[in-house]
Structure 1
Amino acid sequence: MNLTLTAKSNLIKSKAKEFGLDLCGIVKADFLEDEKENFLSWLDKGYHGEMGYMANNVEKRLDPRLLVENTKSIVVVGLNYFPKEQQKDPEAPVIAKYAYGKDYHFVLKDRLNQLFEYINTEIGEVSGRAFVDSAPVLEHAWAKKAGLGWIGKNSLLINRKMGSFLFLGELLLDMELEYENPTYADFCGGCNRCVRSCPTGAITEPYVVNGSKCISYYTIELKGDIPEEAKGKFENRVFGCDICQDVCPWNRMSKPHSVTDFEPNPDLLSMSKEDWQDMNAHKFGEIFRNSAVKRTKFKGIKRNLDFLKGE
């Protein structure tokens, strides 16, 4: 079947929808010249903290053709994870919404692999790889270039119809396709709610986030003790943080997802403040068996709970 580039791209986007992917755009693999200076400046300021991996493979981050040989096209997808229900006890420690259900790395990568197989069998023989937050890929930059949205002042991708509660993933392919040509419009305007609302001041200025001061960093990435200077600033967050998203006016557009795998363990939503404080390793394993929260292990969650208790 001899398809035009337009036909190939349209088939990929249509099939992505069938596989339950909410957004899909295709962009030419190239060097991220516009992002280079900002990324290197971010590293030079030490804003990656103990996330040493961010300073590794810088050239591959800026040029995906060095990451996967012969890459010509990047298919970027977005998957909504905004929940139908949230934690019920207003005094209970809060976890980020992305961790309510099954670990998104597996859920989204399964769908990307399905899409890859479809391309390989129905559109044309292709080589490539799927990535979900698992390789040196500047996913927000590629999502913007693919027309999925713009980068907000909290450094997250925002879509006009869906907001920012989105998982992003990429297929790096050695196939030529038709590419998006978005205008990259920024609809944040004069709004600075995310900047003003960040309790630790991690958003140092619009569009710049000091990752080493983010509550998500403190509660997930940081392996040692949480600095005393952060005391009283967590607003009861025990794993990750959604504050800059919760205050964003564009997230009024957020609609509940329809992904069964993202449905939370009912026990999680009903946990009281006391349930959290009394939680042991066995209960932790039961509730977060398939969740991204397992990244911290029980030891990490216990550290975070103790930190909240001492605020």
Structure 2
Amino acid sequence: MNKLQTYSNLIKQEAKRLGFESCGIAKAKFLNEEASNLEQWLKNGYHGKMQYMENYFDKRLDPRLLVEDAKSVISLTFNYFPETNQNNSAFKIAKYAYGEDYHHVLKSKLKELTFFIEATIGEIHGRVFVDSAPVLERAWAQKAGLGWRGKHSLLIQKNKGSFFFLAELILDIELAYDTPFVTDHCGTCTKCIDACPTDAILPNNTVDGSKCISYFTIELKDEIPTSMKGKFEDWMFGCDICQDVCPWNRFSKPHTEEKFNPHPDLLAFTKNDWEELTELVFKNVFKKSAVKRTKFSGLTRNIRFLNDYK
């Protein structure tokens, strides 16, 4: 076994020890095939009012513009599938937001992984990313051999489904690279397309982000268009419909990360509890949650919308 393969194996072993379920490594280079897709997606206005998606176009496609002399992109997955779901009669939030904000939890683990690499290999330069910078994480995960992108555009793994976070570590050292995942195991299945109540999932493996329930309930700061009335199926923060109906998610198993366990009140709340939500309760239940991103005003706006257009 050569030195680069030994280093890669050690990194993967440490990633597993830190709780990451899978780890793959790809050579850092320009994402040529993604360039035209991203350009067309933006031209079609599928990003809605997410103006930040128009920024750093070149950096999204080339990790060497994010980390000087970058040579490797390490992609990792971290399970967030919950053991218990919300009360069936409640307004719903996406499962990824049940516990503490994943940005902070995973960044801490990535920094530990970085320290390990430095201690094992020597001086390195790099950056860690958790859905917070212009990185096309699904493309890199696929190039690192971790899975394929479903029709809902999310990464899927045959033995785990899609309820996991993606994270990246871009480094200026060469490593042994994994074989890209090229097979699409969705076949002729269209369950996610058929189930999407706002028709956000298009037939060509593309998502019109401007029609997604997650966009309306999290990203959009204006009032939700009345054209969407009655289409949210009680989702008040994010949406899991396309994942819930995906046959591959029958393989999802509950996570073991204590920080992703939900606040007890979150699981017990009924619609009435949400309708009477106060800012004090909001701050208590979502103290360290990603739900804080929409703020109390945003969440109550979403609840009002659901109530006004039942």
Please state whether the residue corresponding to 2:231 is helix, strand or coil. Answer: coil
Please state whether the residue corresponding to 2:291 is helix, strand or coil. Answer: helix
RMSD over aligned CA atoms reads 1.0
Letter of the 1:35 counterpart: E
Match of 2:230 among 229, 232, 247: 232
Matching of residues 258-273 of structure 1 within 5 Å? 258-273=256-271
Unaligned runs of 5+ in 1: none
Q: Which residue of 2 aligns with 1:12?
A: 11
Once the two structures are overlaid, the 10-residue window that deviates more, 203-212 or 214-223, is 203-212
Once the two structures are overlaid, the 10-residue window that deviates more, 182-191 or 133-142, is 182-191
Q: Which residue of 1 aligns with 2:203?
A: 205
CA distance in 2, matches of 1:108, 1:86: 22
Q: Which residue of 2 aligns with 1:297?
A: 295
Letter of the 2:44 counterpart: K
Letter of the 1:24 counterpart: C
Structure 1 position 84 matched with structure 2 position 87: no
Deviations 1:179-206 (A, max 9, x none): 0113411100010000010000001224
Q: Which residue of 1 aligns with 2:160?
A: 162
Deviations 1:230-269 (A, max 9, x none): 0000000000000000000000000000000000001100
Q: Which residue of 2 aligns with 1:185?
A: 183
Please state whether the residue corresponding to 1:167 is helix, strand or coil. Answer: strand
Deviations 1:272-296 (A, max 9, x none): 1110000111110000000000001
CA distance in 2, matches of 1:15, 1:80: 16
Deviations 1:144-187 (A, max 9, x none): 00111000000000011111001000001000000011341110
CA distance in 1, matches of 2:181, 2:220: 37
Structure 1 residue 91: Cα displacement:
2.0
CA distance in 1, matches of 2:56, 2:254: 36
Q: Which residue of 2 aligns with 1:47?
A: 46
Please state whether the residue corresponding to 2:23 is helix, strand or coil. Answer: strand
Letter of the 2:276 counterpart: D
Letter of the 2:168 counterpart: E
Q: Which residue of 2 aligns with 1:22?
A: 21
Q: Which residue of 1 aligns with 2:95?
A: 97
Unaligned runs of 5+ in 2: none
CA distance in 2, matches of 1:54, 1:212: 12
Deviations 1:78-103 (A, max 9, x none): 00000000002x22100000000000
Q: Which residue of 2 aligns with 1:120?
A: 118
Structure 1 residue 124: Cα displacement:
2.2
Structure 1 residue 67: Cα displacement:
1.3
Letter of the 2:59 counterpart: K
Q: Could you state the TM-score of these two structures normalised by the residue count of structure 1?
A: 0.98
> 2:161 touches 2:251 (CA, 8 Å); kept in 1?
yes
Runs of 4+ in 1 over 3 A off after TM superposition: none
> 2:69 touches 2:172 (CA, 8 Å); kept in 1?
yes
CA distance in 1, matches of 2:298, 2:105: 24
Q: Which residue of 2 aligns with 1:67?
A: 66
Q: Which residue of 1 aligns with 2:285?
A: 287
Letter of the 2:305 counterpart: F
CA distance in 2, matches of 1:289, 1:216: 21
Question: Number of paired residues?
Answer: 309
Please state whether the residue corresponding to 2:40 is helix, strand or coil. Answer: helix
Task: Percent identity, please.
Answer: 57
Q: Could you state the TM-score of these two structures normalised by the residue count of structure 2?
A: 0.98
Q: Which residue of 2 aligns with 1:250?
A: 248
Please state whether the residue corresponding to 1:65 is helix, strand or coil. Answer: helix
Letter of the 1:41 counterpart: Q
Q: Which residue of 1 aligns with 2:109?
A: 111
CA distance in 2, matches of 1:94, 1:84: 16
CA distance in 2, matches of 1:125, 1:114: 15
Please state whether the residue corresponding to 2:11 is helix, strand or coil. Answer: helix
> 2:145 touches 2:178 (CA, 8 Å); kept in 1?
yes
CA distance in 1, matches of 2:141, 2:301: 35
Please state whether the residue corresponding to 1:130 is helix, strand or coil. Answer: strand
Letter of the 1:53 counterpart: Y
Deviations 1:86-133 (A, max 9, x none): 002x22100000000000001111111100000011122111010101
> 1:154 touches 1:206 (CA, 8 Å); kept in 2?
no
